[in-house]
Structure 1
Amino acid sequence: MTTMNLPMRTLDAATLANLQRWVGKTETLSDDITAAPLRALSATLDRDDALPMPGTAVPPLWHWLYFLPQHRQSELGPDGHAKRGGFLPPVPLPRRMWAGGRLEWLQENPLVVGDVVQRISRIESVRHKAGRTGDLLFVLVQHEVHNANGLALTEEHDIVYRAAPQAPTLSTGVSSLPLPVPAETGAAWQREIVPDAVLLFRYSALTFNGHRIHYDRRYVTEVEGYPGLIVHGPLIATLLVDLVRRHAPGAFIKSFSFKAVRPTFDLQPFRLNGQPSADGKTVRLWAEDHEGWLTMQGSAELA
């Protein structure tokens, strides 16, 4: 009996017990809502927005331009992220991805340019699962963002850590990917995106994201075993919400949830899709790659 294709376990009971100690850990950060990042993201998303001024509301998901990681260069790990430990648990798995999230905005208290804001974060859970390609560890983080008037938005952030690919995947990066799921067809709203290296660089720069999978082609292919640069999950989520804003410009987005299904690479264009409900109160959203495989799914609730 051969065990060549079985996933390799790397997390023992003692390690998992130690990681559970991070549940309940909190972190509080402060920042200022300034106009320059909003102008830059508007250009990156190819929008024709009016210049943001004091009092201009921050569009949904654009708060990700603030509370950025600012670790010293010596504190970064080999993947470009901060070394494990600190607020997030020291998970000994090399692949780290933003797997999804759920957000709610308070219409009566939007974040606006000029706000002094505070984000309170808490580790809600640390869960282990044995996946098809090895260990998976899911960390759920809850964020609350406040301005001078109180709570402005809440967010649940899903982070997944994965084992390194086994040797046969390094040459192709294919077998380590999730099994493909066909995307739905016939969406009412559609937009094609060309994820070139410049787009990925600009978004990485705007979010001060040093994760090498988004800009270092040699690293992502030779070390992590993927076929190309990976399009940021938060960027795809932002583009899905942007699709709603383009087709329903007067609507207020009350909530948004999304789940990453499969990586999107910079090798081919990908498509955004939106299907509003009959009453116009919700929109089903999804992204697909050039082969028609589902890469992200989401839902927006409108006011």
Structure 2
Amino acid sequence: MTAAGSPTETVTDMMDPARGRALQVALGLAPTIEAGTPLPPFFHQVHFWEPQPPVALGRDGHPRVGGLVPDLGLPRRMWAGGDLSFHAPLLAGVPAEKRARCTSVTRKTGRSGPLAFVSLLHEIRQEGRLRVEERQDLVYREDPDPAAPAPVPPEARTDEAEAVEETFDSTLLFRYSALTFNGHRIHYDADYARTVEGYAGLVVHGPLLAQRLMLMAAGQGGLARFRFRATAPVISGERVSFCRSGTALWVRGADGRLCMQAEAA
């Protein structure tokens, strides 16, 4: 169903260049961002914080649902994918406004039980111009059943023209959580990730994987649009490959599974 009449949230940000430099350093890049510098694609993730007091948080560390995201009675939240249009670069040190609204809510029943798919639309404006449109696709589901068989992820392609291997340690996960003000406990609380949400360990942020793919795509001559979908979690400490073939990009696990697929334009 569509989310007609859903609330709209507006957040402003000064786009502090220091945050952009901190993300560059965390990703192993040279800290080059200064006031007026065009931000790399997706770096707006470290801006537009919306801090909430502890009483307004859910068990997972995220803000409680019931506002922009309706309460669907499903406790586990996952970032399933997104679709971004980059109309013009965002500039560091220049005030910007982000307007967000819920555009659709869909309920389904999968092999693991009931699911809810939520789409959020974010529009970011700077100097009176729409610069970035981002659709975020979220999935809400029940707690895992320990007796249920583990889902089988799809196999990844092996015909890449370029591949870069990387391992994500807990320090990078902590720093990325801090820079994006993401309190989701699956990224820093290993006991919670294992015993409550059923993961094998700390989970690498989906947006962090997408960020790596976007930087790979942008290195081939700019980026106007980027669509991505997560298909399997990546666990801290495992080695994965970031792959590209033409406009197609994907993340492949060491076991050959497809963790994320994307398309760049």
Could you list the per-position Cα deviations for residues 92-145 of structure 1 after superposition, in whole angstroms to 9, with x for gaps in the alignment?
A: 1111011101011113xx210121111111111100010110111000111110
Which of these residues, 146, 155, 176, is aligned with residue 182 of structure 1? Answer: 155
Which of these residues, 32, 37, 40, is aligned with residue 59 of structure 1? Answer: 40
Could you list the per-position Cα deviations for residues 46-84 of structure 1 after superposition, in whole angstroms to 9, with x for gaps in the alignment?
A: 1125x2121100110111111123111221111111112
Aligned to 1:255: 225
Give the CA deviation at 1:225. 1.2
Aligned to 2:234: 264
Aligned to 2:10: 28
For the 8 Å contact 1:22–1:89, the answer to whether it is kept is: no
Give the CA deviation at 1:221. 0.5
Q: Distance in 2 between matches of 1:120 and 1:275?
A: 34
Aligned counterparts, 1:222-233, within 5 A: 222-233=195-206
For the 8 Å contact 1:191–1:243, the answer to whether it is kept is: no
Q: Is the aligned partner of 1:287 residue 2:256?
A: no
Letter of the structure 2 residue corresponding to residue 208 of structure 1: F
Q: Distance in 2 between matches of 1:179 and 1:295?
A: 11
Letter of the structure 2 residue corresponding to residue 226 of structure 1: Y
Q: Is the aligned partner of 1:48 residue 2:30?
A: yes
Aligned to 2:107: 128
Which deviates further from its counterpart, 265-274 or 230-239? 265-274
- SS of alignment partner, residue 229 of structure 1: coil
For the 8 Å contact 1:189–1:275, the answer to whether it is kept is: yes
Aligned to 1:235: 208
Moved over 4 A (4+): 20-23
Aligned to 2:51: 70
For the 8 Å contact 1:32–1:117, the answer to whether it is kept is: yes
Q: Distance in 2 between matches of 1:228 and 1:22?
A: 38
For the 8 Å contact 2:76–2:143, the answer to whether it is kept is: yes
Aligned to 1:87: 68
Which of these residues, 284, 296, 301, is aligned with residue 260 of structure 2? Answer: 296
Give the CA deviation at 1:25. 2.4
Q: TM-score, normalised by structure 1?
A: 0.84
Aligned to 1:275: 245
For the 8 Å contact 1:23–1:124, the answer to whether it is kept is: no
- SS of alignment partner, residue 199 of structure 2: coil
Q: Distance in 2 between matches of 1:58 and 1:31?
A: 14
Point out where structure 1 has 5 or more consecutive residues left out of the alignment.
1-16, 170-174, 277-282
For the 8 Å contact 1:22–1:88, the answer to whether it is kept is: no
Give the CA deviation at 1:24. 3.1
Give the CA deviation at 1:267. 3.9
Q: Percent identity?
A: 40
Aligned to 2:95: 116
Q: TM-score, normalised by structure 2?
A: 0.95
Q: Is the aligned partner of 1:148 residue 2:112?
A: no
Q: Distance in 2 between matches of 1:84 and 1:200?
A: 24
- SS of alignment partner, residue 168 of structure 1: coil
Aligned to 1:172: none
Aligned to 2:147: 168
Give the CA deviation at 1:23. 5.6
How many corresponding residue pairs? 265
Aligned to 1:100: 81
